[in-house]
Amino acid sequence: MNTLTTVVVAFNTLANALGQLLTPIAWLPDWLSLTLIAGLTGLGMLLAFKYTSNQRAIAQIRRDIRANLLTIRLFRENLRVALTAQARLIVAALRLLGHALIPMAVLTVPMIFLLAQLALWYQLAPLPVGAETVITITLAGPTETPLPVVILLDNDAIEDVSGPVRITSQRQVCWCIRAKQPGYHTLQFDLEGQRYEKQIAIGEGVMRVSPQRPSRHWSEVLLYPWETPFPRESLVQAITIEHPQRSSWIAGTDSWIVYWFLISLVAAFCLRGFLRVHI
Amino acid sequence: MNSLVRWWLLTGLGLVLTAESAWAYIGPGAGFAVGGSFLVMFAAVFSAVAMALSWPIRWLWRLAFRKRPPQRPRFQRVVILGLDGLDYGLTVRWLQEGKLPHLAKLQQQGCFRPLGSTLPPISPVAWSTFQTGTNPGKHNIFDFLVPDERTYQPKLSSVEVRPPRRAIRLGPLRVPLGPPEVRLLRKSQPFWAVLSHYGIFNCVLRVPISFPAEKLHGVQLSAMCVPDIRGSQGTFSLFTTRPHHGETTTGGEVQIVKRHGNVVRGELVGPDHPLRSDRGPLKVPFTVFLHDNNRAELHIDGATYELRVGHYTSWVPVCFRTFPRVRVHGVCRFLLLATQPDFELYATPVHIDPEKPALPIGYPAVYPVYLASKQGSYATLGLAEDTWGLNEQVLTDDHFRQQCLDTDREREEMFFDALEKVSHGLCVCVFDGSDRLQHMFWRYHDAQHPARPADVPPDHAAAIEDLYRRMDALVGRTMARCDGSDTLLMVLSDHGFTTFRRGVDLNRWLEENGYLVVDDARRNEDYLAGVDWSRTRAFALGLTGIFINLQNRFAQGIVAEGGEADQLRAELAEKLATLTDPSNGQRVFRRIYQAQKAYRGGYVRQAPDLILGYESGYRVSWDAAVGRTTTAVFHNNTKAWSGDHCVDPSVVPGILFCNQPIREENPRLLDIAPTILNVFGVPAPDYMDGRVLEVGTPAVVSPTS
């Protein structure tokens, strides 16, 4: 697992560097930027599919599928022929699935990293000025040991409303804060003389929002790629800031990924003839 | 590479299977690739369930509402295998020599008879009679060509393709409103239309004179007279760097190309521009990169094909584009003939692409698409084998034979697919490569043929016999596929074959005898262009007919219908009957027929006035066939097209094999349609001229027959 986490961290470093290219998202309407990205992704997926799949075999299977569909239509009076064609259709579909495995494997990894980057922009909204939220710091160690003292250091961007609240059973310390200044800010925590940091995004519109600085576990690192994960031996395991979900007719919670999925598919289907790709 | 792929695969799958929240992110990567196959699977399962549920309802519906034959069908299935041009005499000979074992077996099971052909015994006429059960006076097909009554120009007898009637002009553009109008000129109705009326399923493959495909209960693929993409009956292309090849070529086009180092560029010519007539034909550019003396690479329409000297490419799809979304799709095959000293590349006529047919070449419209999906692209042109390519010596015998073999292979695949799919009903398929091959290879069979080379290549010496053996093997495979089923199998040909040594320029004979006047300076122009119609009383056009220039028929007619015309017909018939070949004193004609006496039906007036029954060895000359008038009546036939059947029907009977006994000794092609109807328990319509043959053992012969 440790190796996998290291690999994911390494990929994240690369993805974050490339993710800088997504900065124009902040200047464009969310529907427009998401449409453009989805279109380009569709194109990329199509090309990747073209060069990682057995195009000749897929074209042949597609022809088989069409032939069997037409068999059902043309010879429907003959039940034996029609049912045989349906069985062949299922076999063809399975063969198509088999031919999709390698492109699928090749596409899945970059897609996961791309989507993790996109999620930073489209999944959550930044904290509006004046809004209150909860910051939670999760500490390492057994639950029976007492929690150490954790201090949220003063910061002009936020106002400490209440806290810290200590939940010993979960080894968590929470604060309720109010956002004051728009922009990207870094919050600092003091724990036994050590400083720990976490970014916060305050403002309106589309901003890159990292809701959690994760622990060093590969799945956490994969989902929250922007901030460096805490080392395995760190006293702090994670710092989380609750952000409101984004809501818009396209890029609302959970629907942005559906929209992205549909647009990328439509783009791929539209371009497949032009690029001569059998999918 | 494999380990890299495996690593990606394992990592991807690991992520997919073990991640908790990350599963949502798999979506596009996996979904994009997998969605399609799940959709297919869903469609298959859904349609299977729908079919299983609806089957009893449809069965009951058919039982209740379908018009049923008045008598029980005697066989579940009738299979007719048409072998165009298989000759009775040769078949008998090779049967006796034991060279046709499967046909011998079929004869043993049922019967073998000569099959009387039509007057004239040529494919469009014969197959029209086969399918309608009527004489040409009722189905209106008398020849390949008929004269236009206004212009005297020859036109196809069986089909008329007209541009869309309505179009709007937008500046220089003429935008057609609707598809071109394609009209089948064959009248009456084929017997499968009658069977369809009774709900009997029909699969009709490549029966000549079935374009455009007509509606029927079943499926149909058209054949003879399906044009190529240019609208012609087959125009091949030769791309060459050899300048002297720029001469005119019948049935093809020579394009002089230039070679730049190892690169040759050319343009494949397609149909006329559909929107701008001033633009000429549409073209698809191509580039050939020569690798060495034997190999090259063809780049056309975004794809690359390997070329090897003497080897055909597979079917190459080509798309002729005008405006976005205005496209005409075709397929053709390329053959690299030589790279040194001159580059020579042959392209077959561009056939209509069966996957995206521009014209109705099948019924339903998706049937050609189905076949293309099933077996890949295939020849759709009516006369698929390029006889002109060989006649003009662009192709060699081997190249031509390869075309015949490939076309037969394609045909066999679709025929056997039909046999697999049609367990009840009618299945007809015509193989016409046998006709083309006999036309072109007869000079090796006939020791006295003028076109026979001094040294006959050993491969071709027995080409005709090989063809019969190949057809025999095809019959064997067909019998194997019919075994164990309640199938009536008939193997038949529309006519036989004979030699074509001497061509007769009928127009020259008419000129010499004072019936036709031609401007001497325009003698060599095609399509009767130099004829003085105001002084011409009779002319020849097509393969077997002479027309009287009747006042009430042709725009410049001068002969009055009635006594004058009757007298002229009789006079011509009498004179022609005595015509002899001065080179050997042999009679040219076995019999001269007057259409009014030979035919009956509503279309007799469209027939040539006289139909010429040539003796074996004679036929209309090549020049006369394209409307030129030479200065001699008789010509040696030195072309590769050396066998023919445009003679008296008694010279070239066809064959009829059946896996059941047939009592009649002299069945005719005319009798097949009513016989098949009778086998299915369907009464033959009154208009049919054929009689019902008694098929099967006496015990199972229907009392009505």
Which residue ranges form the domains of chain B, and what is each CATH number?
A: 78-141+179-226+360-497+652-705 (3.40.720.10), 229-358 (no CATH), 501-642 (no CATH)
Same domain, A227 and A144: yes
Same domain, A151 and A96: no
Report, in this order, helix, strand and coil percent for chain A, each rounded to 5: 50, 20, 30
Residue of B nearest to A89 (CA): B44
* pLDDT score for B241: 93
Same domain, A25 and A97: yes
- Give the residue among B526, B653, B649 at the shortest CA–CA distance from B248: B526
Range with lowest mean pLDDT among A105-114, A179-188, B594-603: A105-114
The dihedral through the CA atoms of A92, A95, A100, A101 has a sign that is positive
Same domain, A261 and A230: no
Same domain, A55 and A108: yes
Same domain, A119 and A256: yes
* pLDDT score for B437: 96
d(CA B483, CA B437): 30
Same domain, A79 and A146: no
Owning domain of residue A70 = 2-123+252-272
Same domain, A153 and A225: yes
| pLDDT tens digit sequence for A246-269 | 877 776 656 788 888 888 888 988
B7 CB neighbours in chain A (<8 A) are none
* pLDDT score for A1: 64
Same domain, A177 and A256: no
* pLDDT score for B459: 87
d(CA B701, CA B705): 7
Strand partners, B642: none
Number of Cα atoms under 13 Å in the Cβ half of residue B9: 13
Could you tell me if B127 and B225 are in contact, meaning their C-beta atoms sit under 8 angstroms apart? no
In the chain, the amino acid numbered B530 is G
Strand partners, A119: none
d(CA B71, CA B608): 41
Angle at alpha carbon of residue B176, lines to B173 and B179, rounded to 5°? 150
**What is the average pLDDT value for chain A, to the nearest integer?**
88
Same domain, A107 and A201: no
| Strand duo B181-184 + B159-162: pairing | antiparallel
3-state DSSP call for residue B246? helix
- Give the residue among B486, B410, B495, B465 at the shortest CA–CA distance from B126: B495
Checking if the pLDDT of A242 tops 70, the result is yes
In a domain, A278, yes or no: no
| CB pair distance less than 8 Å for B34 and A97 | yes
Q: Where are the beta strands (DSSP E) in chain A?
A: 132-139, 150-152, 158-167, 172-179, 183-191, 194-202, 212-213, 236-241
Sequence-separated (6 or more) residues with CB below 8 Å from residue B401: B437, B441, B463
How many angstroms separate the most distant Cα atoms in chain B? 100
In a domain, A81, yes or no: yes
Sequence-separated (6 or more) residues with CB below 8 Å from residue B3: none
A89 CB neighbours in chain B (<8 A) are 40-41, 43-44
Over the range B218-238, which residues count as b (16 or more CB within 10 Å of their CB) and which as e?
Answer: bbbbbbbbbbbbbeebbbbbb
| CB pair distance less than 8 Å for A108 and B29 | yes
Checking if the pLDDT of A17 tops 70, the result is yes
Number of Cα atoms under 13 Å in the Cβ half of residue A168: 6
In a domain, A246, yes or no: no
* pLDDT score for B37: 64
| Residues shown for chain B | 705
A272 CB neighbours in chain B (<8 A) are none
3-state DSSP call for residue B30? helix
Same domain, A116 and A141: no
| Residue B13 touches chain A, beta carbons under 8 Å | yes
Residues 421-450 of B with CB under 8 A from A: 421-424
| pLDDT tens digit sequence for A133-175 | 999 999 988 878 888 888 989 888 898 888 789 998 889 999 9
The angle, 0 to 180 degrees and rounded to 10, between the axes of the packed helices B463-482 and B433-445 is 150
Chain A: give the shortest CA distance to residue B347, in Å: 24
Same domain, A106 and A146: no
In a domain, A277, yes or no: no
Residues in chain B with pLDDT < 70?
Answer: 1-41, 244-249, 324-325, 697-705
Please give the radius of gyration of chain B, using alpha carbons only, rounded to the nearest integer: 28
pLDDT band of residue A109 (cuts 50, 70, 90) is confident
**pTM of the entire structure?**
0.84
In a domain, A279, yes or no: no
| pLDDT tens digit sequence for B161-188 | 887 778 788 777 777 777 778 899 999 9
| CB pair distance less than 8 Å for B33 and A279 | yes
Number of domain units in chain A: 2
The angle, 0 to 180 degrees and rounded to 10, between the axes of the packed helices A255-272 and B27-65 is 70
